[in-house]
Amino acid sequence: MHADQPPAWVLARQRAIGIRLREARIREGLSQERLAELAGIDRKTVVRLEGGQRDVRLTIWLRLAHAIGVPVGDLVRE
């Protein structure tokens, strides 16, 4: 593992959080594009987050949770 590469457990958690984001988005009937519009972010960011491929600031999680209508904790819980 490189110093700048996160440990395997972090990557696994990112994937799990991405799955919860996708499930919440679908439950609300939102496309990735619409969620991105509501959250004020790029659609590619939503794609990367749902795939567990991106570290992201708390402000983006807050925007996503608000756009979906769920507490941010519901998206990032263990």
CA atoms within 13 A on the CB side of 36: 13
Neighbours of 30 (CB within 10 A): 19
Query: Helix 8-27 vs helix 58-68: angle between axes, to the nearest 10 degrees?
Result: 30
pLDDT of residue 3: 61
Rg (CA), the chain: 12
CB 23 within 8 A of CB 62: no
For the chain, how many residues are written? 78
Model confidence over 10-57: pLDDT tens digits? 889 999 999 999 999 999 999 999 999 999 999 999 999 999 887 778
Identify the structural domains of the chain with CATH numbers, from first to last.
8-76 (1.10.260.40)
